[in-house]
Amino acid sequence: MNLFIALAALLTLLVVAWLVYALVRKAPGNGVSSEKLNASIHRDQLQALELDLARGAISPQDFETTRDELQLRLLDDTESFIATSTQSPTGFWTSKRTAGAIAFSVPALALGLYLQLGSPAAIDPMAQTSADEQQIRQMIDKLAAKLQANPNDPKGWVMLARSYKVMGRFDEAQQAYEKAGDMVKADPDLLVDYAELLGIQAGNKLEGKPQQMIQDALRLNPEHGMGLMMAGVASYQVADFKMAVSHWEKLLSKIPPDSPDAQQLQANIDDARAKAGMAGMAGNESTKLPPVPESAATGMTPEKINQMVDRLAARLKDNPDDLPGWARLARAYKVQNRLNEAIRAYEKTGKLLETDPDLLTQYADTLASRDNSLQGKPSELVQKALRIAPKHPMALMMAGQAAYQAGQFAKAIGHWETALTSLPANSPDIAPIKAEIEDAKRQMSASAKP
């Protein structure tokens, strides 16, 4: 605020000084210069006239007549200058008095207008912040009062719960969520947000009810980003590191490659793999992301993501033997739904496809997404992944789906039942797999009837 006042005062003084100077400065001596110029011209003309007389170009009578005209013209010019230059202004408002009036009135007028029309409090950030917070509290209190009068408004209770959570009023936020009723149970966003609130109240622990709510959210939307992140955290907290890896890897395939979020998530995955005794898989460079500069921006626009992917593709053209790099590029293309380019990148991963079941299932999933079918090469890739890791959950689920598409319901059931044995008891994938098994059994029974 002091800086603003100082700058405003300085600018006002500069304007006043400029106006006063224009009024009180002395006028340049243009009159004296004009008089000398006229005299000089007269002398030149007189000398020229005398030369004409000496050469006999004019007669003595013409010389005298012309000389008299020149002298009269010079006298007339001189008298005109004297009459003009000796005139002085009359009246009360002299230049000095006008300058003094401006010097006093301009700052006074500026200050008066600002106090009348301006908002001095607006340049005080602390006062503005306090006013904003007070206004927000008043709005929240009004909403709470409205809901007390009309409690059958679940959307209003959700809005109030989120507002209380932002303000750090966690107990009141929990009470508001409870009054929202079934609306929370049917919305994965609300389930995850409520679970986060309960976790905060429990000292950032997600065991129990928060974890159950996260699983409910993932049953509603298996691809829910925050749900996958928190499910991984919940599994990690109960030392179910394999399940944490499963959730986080699923999330990793859905976020921008080479982003700070992906880098942090990959670090979490590596840590969980190590604690789960999955060191061999953690050491596989095909799933690691390159380092991200500390100065990288957290806000990633589609344009920036495209630029990063294109830079990675350009580097790989110069270094085509970087097999892990091709794997990263393939996954990036897959996330961007550039499926044909992803397939070409997977084909360049070479020997990695011989040893990495994760890469094989990702490649198969990309082909299936493009062709809307798991038959043919996708099924071959899945079977290859199962030969390397017979209990690979994703490979088992995809193998079951391929068998189901081929009408081999018993084989599909076998794969899915094996997948159930490889998943933790609290995995959100269990319920969908059981539903698939029941459906396959019904299809098998229907096909067995004559």
The number of beta carbons lying within 10 Å of the beta carbon of residue 224 is 21
* SS3 state at 438: helix
Asked if residue 271 lies in contact with residue 288, where contact means CB atoms within 8 angstroms, the answer is no
pLDDT given for residue 297 in this prediction: 40
Inter-helix orientation angle 393-405/430-448, to 10°: 20
Q: Write the Ramachandran bin of 277: left for phi over 0, alpha for psi from -120 to 50, otherwise beta.
A: left
The answer to whether 266 and 253 are in contact (CB under 8 A) is no
Q: Which residues contact 308 (CB under 8 A, 6 or more apart)?
A: 256, 257, 258, 259
The pLDDT assigned to 218 comes to: 92
End-to-end Cα spacing for the chain: 89
Distance, CA of 176 to CA of 159 (rounded, Å): 9
Tell me the pLDDT band of 288, cut-offs 50, 70 and 90: very low
Whole-number pLDDT of residue 343: 92
Phi, psi torsion values for 389, nearest 5 degrees: -135, 90
150-171 average pLDDT score: 86
User: For residue 285, what pLDDT is reported?
Assistant: 40
CB-CB contact of 409 with 447 (8 Å): yes
List pLDDT tens digits, range 184-238: 888 999 999 999 989 888 888 888 899 999 999 999 998 898 889 999 998 888 8
- Which CA distances in Å does 423 have to 310, 393, 417, 436? 37, 7, 10, 16
* Long-range CB contacts (within 8 A, 24+) of 67-74: 70/42, 70/45, 70/46, 71/42, 73/42, 74/38, 74/39, 74/42
Alpha-carbon span 223 to 396, nearest angstrom: 19
DSSP letters for 93-127: --HHHHHHHHHHHHHHHHHHHHHHHS-GGGG-HHH
Residues 242 and 250 sit within 8 Å (Cβ to Cβ): no
pLDDT of residue 447: 77
Give the chain's mean pLDDT. Answer: 77
% helix / strand / coil in the chain, to the nearest 5?
A: 75, 0, 25
Task: Write the pLDDT tens digit of every residue in 302-331.
Answer: 666 677 788 888 888 888 888 888 888 888
> pLDDT tens, 25-38?
655 544 444 555 56
Residue 352 DSSP class = G
Q: Which distant-in-sequence residues (6+ apart) come within 8 Å of 279 by Cβ?
A: 273
Residue 276 has a pLDDT of 75
Q: What is the mean pLDDT of residues 13-34?
A: 61
- The radius of gyration of the chain's CA atoms, rounded to the nearest angstrom, is 44
pLDDT tens digits for range 89-135: 445 556 666 666 666 676 777 766 666 666 555 555 555 545 456 77
Name the CATH architecture for the domain at 356-450. Alpha Horseshoe (1.25)
Report the 3 state secondary structure along 189-243: HHHHHHHHHHHHHCCCCCCCHHHHHHHHHHHHCCCCHHHHHHHHHHHHHCCCHHH
pLDDT of residue 14: 76
Nearest to 396 by CA among 369, 366, 429, 355: 429
Q: Residue 213: CB partners within 8 Å, gap ≥ 6?
A: 191, 192, 194, 195, 198
How far is Cα 246 from Cα 231, in angstroms, rounded to an integer? 10
pTM: 0.40
DSSP 8-state symbol, 287: G
Tell me, what amino acid is at 79? E
DSSP string, 357-417: HHHHHHHHHHHHHHHT--TTHHHHHHHHHHHH-TT-HHHHHHHHHHHHHTT-HHHHHHHHH
pLDDT for 381 equals 92
Closest-CA residue to 256 (of 225, 284, 232, 277): 225
Rounded Cα–Cα distance for residues 159 and 177 (Å)? 9
Report the C-alpha gap between 432 and 438 in whole angstroms. Answer: 10
Asked if residues 160 and 154 have their Cβ atoms less than 8 Å apart, the reply is no
Q: Who wins on pLDDT, 20 or 402?
A: 402
Q: Give the sign of the dihedral formed by CA 322, CA 326, CA 331, CA 332.
A: positive
pLDDT band at 291 (very low <50, low <70, confident <90, very high): very low
Q: Which amino acid is at 266?
A: Q
Number of Cβ within 10 Å of residue 263's Cβ equals 17
Residue indicated by tokens 């992906």: 262
Express each pLDDT in 343-383 by its tens digit: 999 999 988 888 888 889 989 989 988 888 888 999 999 99
Q: How confident is the model at residue 81, as a pLDDT? A: 45
